[in-house]
Amino acid sequence: IIHQAYAAGVQKLLQLGSSCIYPKNADQPMQEDALLTGKLEPTNEPYAIAKIAGIKLCESYNRQYGTDYRSVMPTNLYGPGDNFSPENSHVLPALIRRIHDAVKNDDPEVIIWGSGKPKREFLHVDDMAAASLFVMDLASETYRQETQEMLSHINVGSGTDVTIKELAESVANIAGFKGQLRFDASRPDGTPRKLMDVGRLANMGWTYSIELEDGIRATYDWFLQQRDEDLRTV
């Protein structure tokens, strides 16, 4: 895509990466300059390497051909249109689906993998869209002043995080689940914390606007609406 954009004469492009580009043991919150300072998380190393290659490819085209290709690194995203599959969804939509099903089935408990102690950061997709447009619309002079030629990517997130336990409790409260949340500590926790340092983007003038609880509530409402529509088409 990056090469064909150049071949077609596209002068401005935005590449979306991922917070997994940073080393497994990066200092928290993770700053942009943590890139390539240590080993990646083994379970998503191939994905991370692909995203890092994209960053470096954009930077290389900028240096060699004078293009204006920019890269943003989102934190965990959620919102309407997410994947709520019980088999392969990410943590927040998975919790929404499982806790909703528990309410519907009047289950006494929901079992959640891990201790509930790891912390994660979340950003609503509408905020991500707004941040992407903001970065694309930045004047070239401003973008160059706030970045470096070989370290040009920008973290995008809320700069705040919650434990998985706190996240599950919020979803349970919004969905009206009255049962017990039980955490299975025999299951893996994953990385203890993954928080983005969003100071670079804040210095440019953008911060998130949708608080997590408000975003979860809106996402759950959308989820219910979609399920109602699916049932009406059966």
Cα(169)–Cα(174) distance, integer angstroms: 9
Whether the CB-CB separation of 87 and 161 falls below 8 Å is answered with no
Among the listed residues 6, 22, 47, 61, the single catalytic one is 47
| Residue 110: strand pairing partners | 181
> CA-CA distances (angstroms) from residue 57 to 1, 17, 34, 124?
11, 12, 18, 28
Q: Is 120 helix (H, G, I), strand (E, B) or coil?
A: strand
Q: Is 6 a catalytic residue?
A: no
Cα(144)–Cα(6) distance, integer angstroms: 20
Whether the CB-CB separation of 36 and 52 falls below 8 Å is answered with yes
Cα(45)–Cα(211) distance, integer angstroms: 31
Which stretches within 106-184 are classed as H helix? 125-137, 140-146, 164-175
Terminal-residue alpha carbon distance, the chain: 39
**CA neighbor of 70 nearest in space, from 134, 136, 120, 130:** 136
Whether the CB-CB separation of 98 and 86 falls below 8 Å is answered with yes
Enumerate the active-site residues. Answer: 47
